[in-house]
Amino acid sequence: MAEEQVLACSDGGVVAAAMVASGHLALAVSTKTSSRIQLWDPVARCVAADVSLPQMPKAVRLTGVEAATADSGAALLIVARSDGEVTRVALPAAPRVDVGLVSVSELSAQLQGLSRPLHVDAPALLLEISADEGAQHSALVPLQSAWSAEAQQLAIVNTHSQLLVFSAEPGARCVQRNQLARAPCTFLGWSPATGTTLALALRGNGVGIWTSGSAADVKMWTGMSGGAGLIKADVKTFDPTSACWSRAGQLAIGMGDGSFAVWDSVSTLVSSSGRSGKHKGAITAAGWISSLFAPALALASRDTIKISTGFESAEWGATAIKLKLRRESSGDVAPSASPLRKLSSSGFNPMRKARTDPEGLEFVSLTFSLSGKYLAVLAFVASEPAATQVVVYEVQDSRESLVAVREYTGSEEEGAPFGMGWVGEEEALVVFARSRGGGCVRSLVLKGGVDEEPCWPGPGHSAPGRMTGAACSPAGLVAAAFDTGGGGAVVLLGHARLDVLSTFALSGVPRTLALHQPPLGSEGNHTLCVSFDEGGVQVWRL
């Protein structure tokens, strides 16, 4: 429906859309002078109703909408703003639209066929922090970095366990400096809800929170209680092994003892795992369904994935599914055969009791598709950490069952997968793999019946070096960094066909790469954050 959104709002500014029960598209439109909700008729291709929203503060923007129904049966739209405020908007009555009459235009067909054009400007260096300025890196204590496009600030935790925040504003440099406990940093990231709240996690030492613009030091939390207050649990039990932000600004923190907690950056309320939500081992990966109003959190530990939904009092007690690995005991499977392969071919028992297993499955990362219909996992067998695989599950039965639908194991030529990301509403998963001297980008299209899935580099071509990092944005931009032998390079691809959009050189060997889409409702470019083997971080405007 992307074309209809553009036709309905020729002045631009569409930041979110949702299909309502009447068949209309409810479009959230935000311009410099006003904000409103438009009901778009996809059959007649016209605006059926227009609802003005109250004037918002200058720095606040609309971020999302979801359809709802009042107790009386009237249609409602839940509207979220960047300042955390959520309002309910009553929608005017409108004749029902027969969406079966919607015709598919050439542009819409191109969108479904992964052919949306994508353009990037000439890359420009926005910010560079050298090792001498504090961006030191070592193999034992890796440099962590996180860029906020909203705040235009770069946060790093260096090899000396120092938190440094640098501003890209002219004349500004280091705006925050804190010495942290000397412990591995397992997470560093800005809240996607506002881009101004920074969280970091230190093994055995808790979680730190800092707000952009604040003169205060990082506030470290070593335990959590069920109310608005914090600090109640024993310090030894607060051992964050993983963390992730939700789109609505909720921070999920997985612990070494299998427990987890969720902190809401807007309300400052804290909820914790109940007995049914606790894992039997350390939580190594986490991911949220991209929804502002129906939170669902997937957490993974050895051999186990749990999807917990909703708040009950102060606990996330509801566990929709517990995925356990079913292992073969007949002994007729070769030692090199991956449990993931056996899982996808022989099925699994969602509620099977976990057991200690030296060959257990370790999860590196997991991520939901934009609609929440699919869950992709990157994992490996404990005895073979280099033999990584990607498995895509379809979430069924109101999030109570998972069915494996795709698998990618890489190859000797393409290498082993090390990263992944979802692109667009067409539910395509971009997988990144690297070999000893190269790398590969492959798109797994889960619906639409594509004859041949895009892959880069194509037959007869090779990557410019060993792929060291890669990422993609929901808008369809793909970026990959390479070690070219003493130097580095970044290749930018368009997801539609994985065509090369741009290539530019780096001053050193890249280590990690993160890609950031412009904030919703804003006019801007993608930004790219690259860290280097010898230390240092660069931020590029694309």
15 and 74 assigned to the same domain: yes
Same domain (yes/no): 92, 127: no
pLDDT at 274: 62
The residue ranking higher by pLDDT, 292 or 245, is 245
Looking at the structure, tell me whether residues 42 and 128 fall in a common domain: no
pLDDT band at 331 (very low <50, low <70, confident <90, very high): very low
Residue 382 has pLDDT above 80, yes or no: yes
CATH of the domain at 478: 2.130.10.10
Residues 126 and 56 in one domain: no
What lies within 8 Å, CB to CB, of 327 at 6+ separation is 339, 342, 357, 359
- Report whether 301 contacts 363 (CB < 8 A): yes
Domain assignment present for 202: no
Is there a contact between 393 and 340 (Cβ–Cβ < 8 Å)? no
Residue 19 lies in a domain: yes
Which range, 6-15, 250-259, 513-522, has the best average confidence (pLDDT)?
250-259
Task: Provide DSSP, 454-510.
Answer: -EES-TT---SSEEEEEEE-TTSEEEEEEE-SSSEEEEEEETTTTEEEEEEEESS-E
Residues 522 and 452 in one domain: yes
Q: What percent of the chain has pLDDT over 90?
A: 42
Q: Identify whether residues 56 and 93 lie together within a single domain.
A: yes
What pLDDT is attached to residue 402? 82
Same domain, yes or no: 541 and 494: yes
Asked if the structure places residue 508 within a domain, the reply is yes
> Most confidently modeled of 226-230, 358-362, 510-514, 520-524?
510-514
96 and 126 in a single domain? The answer is no
Q: Is the pTM of this model over 0.85?
A: no
**DSSP secondary structure code for residue 230 in this structure:** B
Asked if residue 291 has pLDDT above 90, the reply is no
Q: pLDDT band at 203, cuts 50/70/90? A: very high
Determine, yes or no, domain membership for 37. yes
Residues in the chain: 542
In a domain, 359, yes or no: no
Which of 214, 123, 149, 145 lies closest to 176, judged by CA? 214
Residue 447, H or E segment: none
Which range of residues forms the domain containing residue 506? 120-133+427-542
- Indicate if 42 and 83 belong to the same structural domain: yes
Look at residue 10 and tell me whether its pLDDT is greater than 80: no
- 515 and 468 part of one domain: yes
Report if residue 516 sits inside a domain. Answer: yes
Task: Please tell me the distance from the alpha carbon of residue 302 to that of residue 354, in angstroms, as a whole number.
Answer: 9
371 domain residue, yes or no = no
Q: Who contacts 519 (Cβ-Cβ below 8 Å, separation ≥6)?
A: 61, 149, 150, 195
Do 58 and 126 have their domain in common?
no
124 and 46: one domain? no
In a domain, 76, yes or no: yes
pLDDT band at 383 (very low <50, low <70, confident <90, very high): confident
Distance CA 379, CA 339 (A): 10
Label residue 355 by pLDDT band (50, 70, 90).
very low
**Counted domains in the chain:** 2
Q: What is the DSSP string of 378-407?
A: EEEETTEEEEEEEEEEEEETTTTEEEEEEE
